[in-house]
């Protein structure tokens, strides 16, 4: 595997620490195959992560958000050793999935039903960052006159 050094890109920039961490974590990650999961776009500002967690209960799962990173982990409590399996096809091994969240994406809730964990996410763009419509006036000359009168009065 190749190692990329992005430090020259950040040598002359300030405030892009999150971008550097995102690139570093993307390069460090390995492909995760367990448990299987889907990432869905529900609409323009809503997303859903669905994770197949057969055999795990609510007490075995943990969903946390720290520094714009969503972590979903699962660990089964020690099971009864007296059970003799003839075939064991349901993998109940511990796992940890990490997802980097974009700016203003918040975790709304998480629900477990029929062995499927569904985490709902929503993008909340602050009002000051949303596009706004600027009204167009009919006469600029009137506005210039008003400004001149305000300056004389001051």
pLDDT digits (tens, 9 = 90+) for 23-43: 776 666 666 778 999 999 999
Residue 50 structural domain: 37-79+87-130
Are 70 and 123 in the same domain? Answer: yes
pLDDT digits (tens, 9 = 90+) for 108-146: 999 999 999 999 999 988 888 778 888 887 766 556 667
Q: What is the tally of structural domains in the chain?
A: 2
The answer to whether position 122 is within a domain reads yes
How confident is residue 75, by pLDDT bands cut at 50, 70 and 90?
Answer: very high
Are 57 and 94 in the same domain? Answer: yes
pLDDT for residue 89: 83
Are 66 and 124 in the same domain? Answer: yes
pLDDT digits (tens, 9 = 90+) for 78-96: 766 778 888 888 878 899 9
Are 99 and 125 in the same domain? Answer: yes
Q: What is the dihedral of CA 94, 32, 96, 64, to 10 degrees?
A: -150
Write the CATH number for 103: 2.60.40.790
The answer to whether position 14 is within a domain reads yes
Q: Where are the alpha helices (DSSP H) in 13-75?
A: 17-28
Are 23 and 96 in the same domain? Answer: no
Contact 51, 97 (CB under 8 A): yes
Are 55 and 10 in the same domain? Answer: no
The answer to whether position 143 is within a domain reads no
The answer to whether position 125 is within a domain reads yes
Alpha carbon distance 1, 27 (integer Å): 10
Q: What is the mean pLDDT of the chain?
A: 82
pLDDT for residue 119: 96
Are 26 and 43 in the same domain? Answer: no
């Amino acid at each position: 595997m190749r190692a990329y050094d992005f430090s020259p890109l950040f040598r002359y920039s300030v405030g892009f620490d999150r971008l550097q961490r995102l690139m570093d974590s993307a390069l460090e990650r390995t492909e995760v195959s367990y448990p299987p999961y889907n990432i869905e776009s529900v609409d323009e500002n809503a997303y859903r992560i669905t994770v197949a967690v057969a055999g795990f209960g609510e007490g075995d799962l943990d969903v946390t958000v720290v520094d714009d990173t969503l972590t979903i982990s699962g660990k089964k409590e020690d099971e009864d050793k007296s059970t003799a399996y003839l075939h064991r096809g349901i993998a109940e091994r511990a796992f940890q999935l990490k997802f980097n969240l974009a700016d203003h994406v918040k975790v709304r809730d998480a629900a477990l039903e029929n062995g499927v964990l569904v985490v709902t996410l929503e993008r909340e763009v602050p009002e000051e960052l949303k596009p706004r419509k600027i009204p167009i006036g009919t006469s600029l000359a009137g506005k210039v006159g008003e400004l001149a009168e305000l300056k004389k009065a001051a």
